[in-house]
Structure 1
Amino acid sequence: MDIEVTTEPSPEALETLSQGIQAYNRDTIPGFPEVAEELRFAVLARTSVGELVGGIRAVAFWGYLSIELLWLSESARGRGIGTGLVRAAEAFAVQHGFEYARVETTSFQAKPFYEKLGYDVFGSLENFPPGHRSYFLKKRL
C-alpha cells in the first residue's frame, strides 16, 4: 500500500473519492441525498461602472446553504451591501428548495454581523486561527 500526499490530485482521483463516499452513504442510509446535487453559486456586488466590490461564494446541498466566504472592499463596508448579499444568497437558496443556512466566521471577522441577520452560534473552535476563535453559525431560512 502506497500513501501519497499531493497538492494536485487528478480529477479522476477526486471523482473516485466522491463516488466512493456517495456509494457508502447510499448503502448505509437508503434515500440519502446525493452530494452531486450540490449547487455552487456566487452573489456579486458591482459599482455602476462594473467594479467588483464584494460578494459571496456559496454551495448548497443536503438542505443547507453554506456560505463559504463573504468579502467586501473597504469602500463597500458599512453601507448595507453585506446584508444585501446574504439576503440574496438566502433567497436564491430558498428558491432552490434549501431550508437552512450555515457559515463559519472568526472572532475578528463577522460574528456580530451574522447574529444580527438571525444566525445562531452552534459551535466554536478555539485558537483557529492561532490567537483567535472560529464560530459556526446556522439559521433556518
Structure 2
Amino acid sequence: MNIEIERNPSKAEADLLRRGIKAFNEETVRDLEPSEEEKRFHVMARDGEGSLQGGIRATCYWNTLHIELLWISETARGSGIGRKLIQKAEAFARDNGCENALVETTSWQARPFYEKNGYNHMATLPNRPKGHSSHYLKKVLI
C-alpha cells in the first residue's frame, strides 16, 4: 500500500472518495438526510445605499444549521445587525428542517456574541490557531 499526500487529486478520485463516504453513511443510517438536500446560503445586510455592511455564510444539512462565517463592518458593529442576521439565518434553517445550529469561533472573535444569542459552549480546542483557541457552540432551534 502506497500512502501519499495529494494536493490536487483528479476529479474522478475526489468523486470516488465523496461517493464512498456517502454510500457508507447511507448504508449505516437508513433515514439520513441525503447530501443533495444540503442548502448553502448567505444572509446579507446592506445600508440604504446598498453597500454591504455584514453577512453570514451558512449551510443547512443533517438537520443542522452550520454557520461558517459572520462578518459585520466596523461602522455597523453594535447596531443590532448581527442579531438580526442570526435570527434570519435561524428562521431559514427552521423553515428547512433544521433543529440544531453549530458555530465555531476563535478566542478573538465572537463567542460572547453567540452566547448572548442563545448558543451554548460545547468545547474549546486550545492553541488553535497557535496562541489562541477555537470555541464550538450549539443552539437548539426547535
Q: Hey, what's the Cα distance between the residues in 1 that align with 2:13 and 2:86?
A: 34
Letter in 2 for 1:120: N
Shift of 1:99: 0.7
Q: Hey, what's the Cα distance between the residues in 2 that align with 1:15 and 1:36?
A: 14
Percent identity of equivalent pairs: 50
Q: Hey, what's the Cα distance between the residues in 2 that align with 1:86 and 1:110?
A: 12
> CA RMSD, aligned part only?
1.5
Q: Give the number of aligned pairs.
A: 140
Letter in 1 for 2:28: T
Matched, 1:5 2:6: yes
Letter in 1 for 2:129: P
Which residues in structure 2 correspond to 1:91-102 (within 5 Å)?
Answer: 91-102=91-102
Q: Hey, what's the Cα distance between the residues in 1 that align with 2:3 and 2:115?
A: 46
Distance 1:36 1:74, change over 3 A: same
Give the equivalent residue in structure 2 for 1:73.
Answer: 73
3-state SS in 2 of match to 1:75: helix
Shift of 1:32: 2.3
Shift of 1:11: 4.3
Which residues in structure 2 correspond to 1:12-51 (within 5 Å)?
Answer: 12-51=12-51
Q: Hey, what's the Cα distance between the residues in 1 that align with 2:33 and 2:10?
A: 25
Distance 1:52 1:103, change over 3 A: same
Give the equivalent residue in structure 1 for 2:132.
Answer: 132
Q: Hey, what's the Cα distance between the residues in 1 that align with 2:85 and 2:66?
A: 14
Could you give the per-residue CA deviations for residues 78-134 of structure 1, whole angstroms, max 9, x where no partner exists? 100011101100000001111111100011100000000000011110001111111
Give the equivalent residue in structure 2 for 1:58.
Answer: 58
Give the equivalent residue in structure 2 for 1:84.
Answer: 84
Gaps of 5+ in 1: none
Which residues in structure 2 correspond to 1:112-127 (within 5 Å)?
Answer: 112-127=112-127
* TM-score between both structures, scaled by the size of structure 1: 0.92
* TM-score between both structures, scaled by the size of structure 2: 0.91
Distance 1:10 1:77, change over 3 A: farther
Gaps of 5+ in 2: none
